[in-house]
Each structure stands twice: as C-alpha cells, then as structure tokens.
Structure 1
C-alpha cells in the first residue's frame, strides 16, 4: 500500500502554482515583440503602397490589362474577315503563337500577278516571273521548244517596315491572306504605356492584278479606344536602300515626279542576262497619330525588264529604252490614288475567279484533298500566272478573241481526275515552290489536251484546273462530266463553268438520308438564248432541258464506264449517244459501290491455292510422323539382362554404338 505523507503533499502545491505563474509571465513577455513586429509590418506595407503602389500597378497589374486591350483591339479588326475565313477564302496567320506543326502549317504570305511576286515579310525580296523557252524531246524523238515560267530574285526588298517611337506595354499582330482578293494584310495593335488606347496599324500589300508591273503597299495607322489626349505619336517607316544593287538614273530628267528611277543589267542564270529598270515612290517616312485623325503612307514599286540576252553587252543596249518605258508608265500609275488602284485590283481578281469550286469531304471516307489546300493551290497557281484578259495594256480586239477561245476550248480535259494527284495539292514554303507548282499544273494540263486554255493565262488555267478536278471534258458537241464513282460520296460543286455562251453550276450532292445516294444538280446562271439539254450516264433516258432552276439527275455507273453527265445544245446528239455508247450494264451508284466492296480482296483462286498447300503440308507431316513411329520398333537395341526371381532387370548398353 502506497502512503503519501501530508508534508510532502503540502510542499508540492506551491511549486506547481509557481511554475504556472512563471509560464504566464513568460508568454506575456514574448507576445509583446510580436505585436510590435506586426505594427511595423503594417507601417511598411502602407509606405510601400503609398510610394511604390503606382509603380506596381503600372508594371504588374497593367500587364494583364494591356494584354486584354491588344487582344480586343486585334479581335475587333479581324472580325471583318470572319465570313471569308469561314468560307476558307482567307486564312489568319497568328504571329504570336509558337512555331506551327507540320500538320497545321500556315500558307505562304505571298502576293503575285504572274510578273511580280513577293512574300510579305520584313526584308523579303521582290521576284520577277518570266517565260523561258526550254528544249525537250517529244514522243517522236523530235526536238521541240516549250515555254516554262522561271523566277529571279531581285537584289533588294521593297517591303516596308514600321518602328514605333513611343513606349508600348504590349503588342500583338496577325496576317490575313485573302485568296479571293490577292491581298495580304498585316494587322498590329500596340498598347500605349499609361493610356487605355491602342495604336492600330494595317499594312496592306498587293501585286496589282491588272497592272502587272506594279507592286503596291499601303500602311494606315489609327487610335482605338482612348478618350484622353495622348499627344502626337510617331511611327517610323523604314525602307530598304536600292542604291547598293542598282544605278540611280539622273533625277534631273524626272524631277517633276516624286519617285526615283534605277536600272541595271543582271545575270539571271548562267550566261543569261536581263536589263531591269525600277521606279520607286514613298509618300512619307513617318506616320503621325493623335486623337483627331488617322494617317497613312503609300509605297509603289514599278518594275520592267527586257528579254533574255546571251551577253551583258546585248542587254546593256536595251537599258536606255527600258528606262524611258518605265518612266512613262510610272508617270501614269503614280498619278492614281491608292484607293483607285486597290479597287482596280480587287475587281480584276473577282473577275478572274468568276469560276469556282466547293468541296466538302465526307467524314467517313474523305477521298478529296483538304478544302483549304484546294483554295491555297488555286491561289498560288493564279498568282504566278499572268492575266492576259485583265491586263490594262491588251488591245480590245485581242481581248474579244481571248473571250471566244475561253468559251469554246479544244477538247479539254482528257484523262483521269486530278483529285488524287497529291503533288498537285501540296503546301508551298517559298517563291520557288510557287513557281514549281505552277509549272507542274501547266505541264499536267497541257499533256491532257488543255494546252489552248493554259496558253490563255490565269483565266484559262483556272478553267482547266476545274475541268481536271471533276473529270469534265469539252468535245465538239458536248460537255461531259466523268469523275471517279468512288469519290461521289463527297459533296462537290462547280460554279459558273463556261460552256459556249452560257455559264453552268454543276453539283454532286449526297442524299441526307441513311443511304447517302448521290444526285447531280445542274442549273444555268442565266436564261440561254439557245436551249441547253442534259442526260445522265449512257443517256438511257430522254434528255431534259436545263434552266435557272436546278435539274436533278440520278447518278448511274455503266459497263463500260461512261461519263455520268452529258450537256449539249444539240438534243439529237444526246439521243444518238444512247445507240452509240453500246452500254452492256447500268447500275445505280449504291449498287455499284456494293459490287466494289464485294470485289475487294484477293481472288478466289488465290485462297484455293493457299488452302491446298495447307492440306498437303499437313498430310506430308502426318506421313512423316507415322514413318518415324514405325521405324523406331525396327531399329536394333543392345541389352544385357540379369534375372532376379520373376523379374528381369535390363541395362542399356551403348558400348557397340561408341565403338562404331
């Protein structure tokens, strides 16, 4: 039993109370400095926000506000391109993003008109496109001359550059490549430090479509979203010096015009020379921006060149004459306003692209090149082809003859559809790629009976490209539509195809039901002076008369294969086709595709052969095993036995085998 002495208990109680008192005192003493530190920290924070708060706001918090301002500024100015972008007629290249992937490469920011071309990027050179006769041997082993488009990089850059002369918190820019207008615009928004507004810059560049010797630039600047006075802000315009590569002509001869004239003889390839003359004009070196007005700067470059000469001396003889021609041409175009020139340019591109193509690949089985690649390819090919019909210098009688030839081409297109030609629908990354793509298309179309259309320039080349895409073919009496049946599960539309004096819309549309059966829709743009008729594959049914209301025709596939559509002004010609095509079998498109699916794979005889080999192999294997099994009982075995009662123990002996 444990006993506690009272004296000892009395002694412990005061000690505990003393410890508690000491602990309380210690806590209160330590808490006093913490309170002072808190007060000191609060005072420091107040001083920081009073004296350093504005700096913190401007450099940290305003960063997010600035970013938001330039984003909204750029989005507002890009909105006007929404329709064109939605229809894949334009593309936005965001310069603020990381390097794009191989699958999502932006198109080349190229503008051209078949004689001049440039990539709209800082310090990019100007290129001239010129025809060169090339010798080649035809199928009959005869040497013939063929004209091909070549490029030459001029040793100077006409691209203007901008430098802002004020403090800016942030900046964002994008480029818009407009395939239908042949224009590249660089849009930039710069946030002005200490203000809520942004400076908006629009740099527009074109290689003029109807005046092919002219390269035009227009830079405009305006202020967005600021209500307070900011004072004058300056944008410096930088241009490249051409004097390093060209000789300046005496300005006394042309001092009544605000431009400089240069010329030189350059070697464009090994042993080939060309005289080149350049007239350049810049309307100002600075852009002044304030709340009251917007400002702009224009630049124009006129380039002319001689033909190809085999020596520098021969090209030098052309230089003086070329200088006068350039000066006379510059005197005319430099009197025109930029707005007037841009209006001309847009009208010419719109007229060239009167014929169009719309493709909508099926999600299940695309079968077609990407629609954006199709638009890009058409744009680059046309941008590197001259437009004879829209050239301002072409005589009127030649213009009328060109229109007549476009309406009645000779037997174009003859061959397989170009839908599946991967090399024809590809990305380009340089001006040389653009020229090679144009050369490949021209050669392909010329080899398939479209030489007359290709020789007519951009208008004829576009017509031939569309005909080749759909397997459309002109003959003496009709227009035939013969695409591959396997791609008809995609939507394809051809707009404003020229057929004699009429323009047609031809579409292949999938049914919206579960079958997805395609049908052909044909309509005229205007009422024809002479009736126009159409019939489907094989012309098994009577031809129908076409009008502005779309006519629907079924899609048939015949054996032997015939075009799925015939169009002609001669109704009797279409009825005669029924007896002359000698069709053995005619199927609806769904039936044809079912037969194609059944017919896919290896032939039956192949599988019979494989099965026979497997059977014979197993029979041979069974026979081999049986032979081995039987022979094992006949082979000699050496035993020595020792009897032990009723049991006999045997031992295997290999003595004789070892001896052998």
Structure 2
C-alpha cells in the first residue's frame, strides 16, 4: 500500500511538472532540443524496428540459399556495372536485359526456347529454327534460375537450383572461332546416391531437314566421336525468293544424364554453325555438301584445339581464355560516367549493356583464325583512318539509342539503330574494321569527339558537362592512346584532363578557340578549363602537328571566348541526389519546415498569453510560493 501511494504521488507530481512546462515556462532552447529529439526518433526508430522484427521467410528457403551462393562471386561486378544479374522471373530492382551471346557471325538468347539468329542486314535479325541451348529440364521439380552476363569476358553464366542438385553453365560464342558455340555444363549432386536427370537438348523445327552422322577422330588418340550433321534452307523474304543454307554439327547427347553421388558431373559441348550467302532456292542440293564440309572442318579444328596436349582440361581452359582475351582487348577502350539519380538518366549499367549488345553482333576480324593476313592488314589501316567520325550530336542525348533490351526483337532493333547511326555519321571506316572499330566509334559518339583534318576535337556543349566523364584509350592512329577525363569540381565547374596512354610522337592540345600556346601532352594529366565561345565551337583540340594547332586559332572565327559558367546547384543536386534539395531526403526538409511552423505557433501562443491575460492573474501565478 505504501509503494502504491508513493507511486500515485510521484505520478501526480510528474503530471503537474509537465503541465507547468507546457503552460509557458519552457525556453526556446529546450523546445528546439525537444523537437529535434522527436525528429531523430521518428527517423531512426522505424528502420531499427524493421531490421529487428521484420520477417525474412525467403532466407530459410534452401533454393534461395543455393542461388545466393552461386551469385555471390558476381555481386561486385554487378555493382560496378561490369555484369548484369537477372533472376527468372526478374526482380523489380534488376535490369531486365536479356542474357545474350554472339560474335558477329551468329547470336542467341540464353533461354531454352530461344532460336539461333544469324546475320541479316546490320544485326542478327534472321531466325534459324534451331534451339541450341542445353540445360537441365525444368520438369525435374521445384527450381530457381538466374543468369549473369559478364560483359568483359563475353560469357553468360546460368544457374539452376533444384532440391537435391544444382547446375552451373557457361555459354559463349567463341571470338577467334566465330562458327563455334560453346556450352560448359557442371551439375553438382548433393545427395549420397546416384540418379538420372532429364536434359533439354538441341532441337529444330526445320522444314524437311537433311541429317546424317559423321565420325571425327580425336587429336590425342585414334578414337572417333560421332557427331550429328544437319542441313536445311532458310527462305528469305526477298523478290528473288532466295534461300540461305545452314549446316549444324554437334556431338550426340543422351536425353538423360546420370549424376555421381555427392559429386560433380561435367559436360563440355561444342556446336559448329556454318551458313551461306543468299542463293537461288534450286541450288540447295549443290551447295549443301560443300557447306557441311566447312561446318565439319570448323568442328574438327575446334575439337583439336580443346584436345591438344596431354591434359585436355588445360587445353580447354586455354581455348576459353583465348575467347576472353579478345573481349578484354575490346573493353580496353571504354567510357565511364558518374552515376546519376535523376529520373530516366543514362547510367553505366545501361551503357555497358548496350555496348555489349552491339559488340556481340560485330565480328573481330583481326583476331579470327580463319581471316587471312592481308585482310587483317586492311583492318589495321581502317582503324588508323577515322576521319569524319563522329560528326553529330553526342549520343547520350539520343533516346532512341537507349531503348529497352527486354526481348531479342528489341535488342536487335537497338543494335540496328546504333549501326545505322554510326555509319551515317562518318564512322563507316571504323565499322568495316569490325568490333575494335565499332567500340571506338561508340565511345567517340558519347562525347561527340570527332577526327577532323589532322586533329581530334571535343564538340560537346559545356552545358552537358554536369557529370564526370572518362573516355578511355581513344585510338589516335594505331600507336597512340588518348585518355580524356571531365571532372565537375566543388564550385560546379567542369575541367578537362588529358593524358596519353602511349604515343609514337609528340602530341599537343589547346582549349576552345586555341588562343593559348599549345600544351605538350604526356602520360601525366594536363588540365584545361572548359570555355564557351560565341559562336559555339569545340572545347578541346588534340593533334600531333604543332604548326597546325598554332594556326587553328586563325581558322576558328569566334567573337568571344570566356570560361564556361558554373552549373546551377539544383542541376548538380538533381544528378547526385535525385532531387533539387541537396544531399538530404525530401522528408527531412519537410520535417524541418514542420518544426519551424510548430515553433512559431508556440511562440505566438506565448506572446498572446503575455499580452492578453490579466495582470493580477500573472502576478498571482509568478508570486505564488
């Protein structure tokens, strides 16, 4: 009873103290601290409670854990935009870019029901009724699936997790052997027993195909392996009713695979694809045999590569590395841009995915085994002559070049748009050089960089330089690489830094108008301000001819040259934070405004009470002992 009475007393005393505080004796400092504590409470407590008490039922799912284990090695690449992770079906936070492989000779989406595509026009638009992708059958039970497109290696990884086993796949269209599709399959059995699983095998819907079986001898011993050879005609919708003869060679595969108990089962499968140019339909029989011989020869050459030496595993790994090296060389030239949080902005994820899609539909002639030495020399000359490329607006602002890639039709349409744009904007010589030239042309187009009459000029308008740009290893001839970096400083002004990766002679640069002395370039960065001229001219010039650069300012007729003004703060904030209010979220500023409003209401209440209440009442209140 005593404790209860004391509790009542304490509660009543506390209530009276709170009432006296609310009646007007609280100071402004205490009020501000109180409101600030309330704001912090509402910001911090909900996330903490969500973290502590939110249920995560999916984390207990063994299939989810299996898939997370498979995808973990690719998380960093995905964050750096060097790969794209996509679940099936894709998650809302993921980019819905279809997994695709290609080498300019053929291409295919990595999906069980995806058909092979071959070159037609500027992209892989002609479907072949062949479904070449091999995988575990989804009818084997509950499963989860995801894909990872590794841009820098040109390999699509695919993972399937079942209750008792999981499959890991690597698919790629080989770069140096353009007629070869490679599928590496690795199935891990987690159970302590042997059992069979069903496979999805290559299948076709050709009309009246011609097929047979051939034997190809091993390069290591006298044994022979049986291969299926199939040929068919693909009708073209042209006025001459021409056809294309397609021949396909692949190893015979069993529809069921026996898994080792608590072990790994591996399959390394090659498929050779060869097709003709358009021919009259009545010449199918005459051309078929020759086309099959070429397909068999490609398969024989590739098989000997993967079986060379005493250790076939080492030979196979070298065969894969040969493909990866080509893709690594292509990505040596590239472009990066600071990430923008503004709505509908183009960021590194879409840029890299688009570059990969375009390069996957262009051949690397200079690195292919079947290309003659004379052709490779011609390609080297084409790479060194880029006069007139790129002669238009910068492509980061062209919405039609950054459309969706959520289907094979949309991807092919996007690639056709890019190839047409580059060709019509003066980059036809680079396009003839193959993939090495195409990526050069694309990187030039991102900043409207143009080779023109003995110099390289940077034609972008200064108002678009509100994000950091990095143009990496631009070819100036075949022996010089130029790196161009645009950085937005703390005062919201853009500056340009130039460095040579390598060079065969002395190179010079000048900023807009070329009024200053040419600056000798080297491996260390040289900084240039971004200037705005009237009328608008290029903001940077680079050349190996110093006299040409000294004369440029006489040929560039400008009325006024001044340093470009700083970008407005709200523009920089929009890209950095997704809104115009700076680095803090919108809810924070709304809360601050609410606190200010409440504070002024409370202040008005105090003033009203001070001047409107009777003086006796006030004197009684303050003098009461």
For normalisation by structure 2, the TM-score amounts to 0.74
Task: Give the SS at the match of 2:364.
Answer: coil
Q: CA offset at residue 253 of structure 1? A: 6.9
- Segments of structure 2 that go 5 or more residues without pairing to the other structure are 1-55, 218-223, 307-315, 572-625
Task: Give the SS at the match of 1:374.
Answer: helix
Cα deviations across residues 208-260 of structure 1 (Å, max 9, x unaligned)?
Answer: 22222111111102256xxxx71224333231444864634443676843211
| 1:154 matched residue in structure 2 | 128
Q: CA offset at residue 278 of structure 1? A: 1.0
Q: Tell me, in whole angstroms, the C-alpha distance in 1 between the residues paired with 2:111 and 2:138.
A: 17
Cα deviations across residues 580-608 of structure 1 (Å, max 9, x unaligned)?
Answer: 212211121226979x9xxxxxxxxxxxx
Q: CA offset at residue 107 of structure 1? A: 0.1
- Segments of structure 1 that go 5 or more residues without pairing to the other structure are 1-62, 132-147, 193-198, 597-660
Q: CA offset at residue 449 of structure 1? A: 1.5
| 2:229 matched residue in structure 1 | 261
Cα deviations across residues 129-163 of structure 1 (Å, max 9, x unaligned)?
Answer: 144xxxxxxxxxxxxxxxx4462211221111313
CA contact (8 A) 1:246 1:263 kept: no
CA contact (8 A) 2:107 2:117 kept: yes
Q: Tell me, in whole angstroms, the C-alpha distance in 2 between the residues paired with 1:76 and 1:188.
A: 12
Q: Does structure 1 residue 375 correspond to structure 2 residue 352?
A: yes
CA contact (8 A) 2:101 2:360 kept: yes
CA contact (8 A) 1:165 1:234 kept: no
Q: 1:273 aligns with which of 238, 243, 253?
A: 243
Q: CA offset at residue 187 of structure 1? A: 1.3
Q: Tell me, in whole angstroms, the C-alpha distance in 2 between the residues paired with 1:165 and 1:416.
A: 51
Instruction: Give the direction of change, closer, same or farther, for the CA distance of 1:162–1:398 in structure 2 (3 Å limit).
Output: same
How many pairs are equivalent?
A: 497
Q: Does structure 1 residue 532 correspond to structure 2 residue 507?
A: yes
Q: Tell me, in whole angstroms, the C-alpha distance in 2 between the residues paired with 1:466 and 1:164.
A: 41
CA contact (8 A) 1:463 1:497 kept: yes
- Equivalence map 1:52-451=2 (5 Å): 67-95=60-88, 100=92, 105-131=95-121, 148-149=122-123, 151-163=125-137, 171-192=143-164, 199-223=165-189, 230-242=192-204, 245=207, 247-251=209-213, 256-270=224-238, 271-282=241-252, 285-290=255-260, 293-309=263-279, 311-337=280-306, 338-363=316-341, 369-451=346-428
Cα deviations across residues 39-81 of structure 1 (Å, max 9, x unaligned)?
Answer: xxxxxxxxxxxxxxxxxxxxxxxx9799443333322221211
Once the two structures are overlaid, the 10-residue window that deviates more, 151-160 or 277-286, is: 277-286
Q: CA offset at residue 172 of structure 1? A: 2.8
Cα deviations across residues 596-652 of structure 1 (Å, max 9, x unaligned)?
Answer: 9xxxxxxxxxxxxxxxxxxxxxxxxxxxxxxxxxxxxxxxxxxxxxxxxxxxxxxxx
CA contact (8 A) 1:283 1:297 kept: no
Task: Give the SS at the match of 2:469.
Answer: strand
| 2:551 matched residue in structure 1 | 576
Q: CA offset at residue 363 of structure 1? A: 4.5
Q: Does structure 1 residue 551 correspond to structure 2 residue 526?
A: yes
For normalisation by structure 1, the TM-score amounts to 0.70
What is the root-mean-square deviation in Å for CA atoms of aligned residues? 2.8
Q: CA offset at residue 414 of structure 1? A: 1.2
CA contact (8 A) 1:282 1:297 kept: no
| 1:49 matched residue in structure 2 | none
Q: Tell me, in whole angstroms, the C-alpha distance in 2 between the residues paired with 1:288 and 1:349.
A: 35
Cα deviations across residues 281-320 of structure 1 (Å, max 9, x unaligned)?
Answer: 25655544446642111222211111112x3112332112
Q: CA offset at residue 396 of structure 1? A: 2.1
CA contact (8 A) 1:165 1:233 kept: no
Once the two structures are overlaid, the 10-residue window that deviates more, 532-541 or 239-248, is: 239-248
Q: CA offset at residue 472 of structure 1? A: 0.4
Task: Give the SS at the match of 1:234.
Answer: strand
Instruction: Give the direction of change, closer, same or farther, for the CA distance of 1:262–1:109 in structure 2 (3 Å limit).
Output: same
| Structure number with larger C-alpha Rg | 1
Q: CA offset at residue 332 of structure 1? A: 1.3
CA contact (8 A) 1:492 1:509 kept: yes
| 2:45 matched residue in structure 1 | none
Instruction: Give the direction of change, closer, same or farther, for the CA distance of 1:429–1:172 in structure 2 (3 Å limit).
Output: closer
Q: CA offset at residue 118 of structure 1? A: 1.0
Q: Does structure 1 residue 502 correspond to structure 2 residue 464?
A: no
Instruction: Give the direction of change, closer, same or farther, for the CA distance of 1:150–1:127 in structure 2 (3 Å limit).
Output: closer
Instruction: Give the direction of change, closer, same or farther, for the CA distance of 1:480–1:356 in structure 2 (3 Å limit).
Output: same
Task: Give the SS at the match of 1:334.
Answer: helix
Instruction: Give the direction of change, closer, same or farther, for the CA distance of 1:243–1:69 in structure 2 (3 Å limit).
Output: closer
Cα deviations across residues 550-590 of structure 1 (Å, max 9, x unaligned)?
Answer: 11111111112111111111122212112221221112122
Q: Tell me, in whole angstroms, the C-alpha distance in 1 between the residues paired with 2:57 and 2:341.
A: 41
Q: CA offset at residue 91 of structure 1? A: 1.0
Q: CA offset at residue 497 of structure 1? A: 0.7
| 2:467 matched residue in structure 1 | 490
- Equivalence map 1:608-627=2 (5 Å): none
Q: CA offset at residue 88 of structure 1? A: 0.6
CA contact (8 A) 1:120 1:184 kept: yes
Q: Tell me, in whole angstroms, the C-alpha distance in 2 between the residues paired with 1:432 and 1:176.
A: 20
Q: Tell me, in whole angstroms, the C-alpha distance in 1 between the residues paired with 2:187 and 2:465.
A: 49
Task: Give the SS at the match of 2:504.
Answer: coil
Instruction: Give the direction of change, closer, same or farther, for the CA distance of 1:211–1:376 in structure 2 (3 Å limit).
Output: same
Task: Give the SS at the match of 2:523.
Answer: coil
Q: CA offset at residue 330 of structure 1? A: 1.5
CA contact (8 A) 1:149 1:439 kept: yes
Q: CA offset at residue 389 of structure 1? A: 1.9
Instruction: Give the direction of change, closer, same or farther, for the CA distance of 1:360–1:272 in structure 2 (3 Å limit).
Output: same
CA contact (8 A) 1:494 1:507 kept: yes
Task: Give the SS at the match of 1:446.
Answer: helix
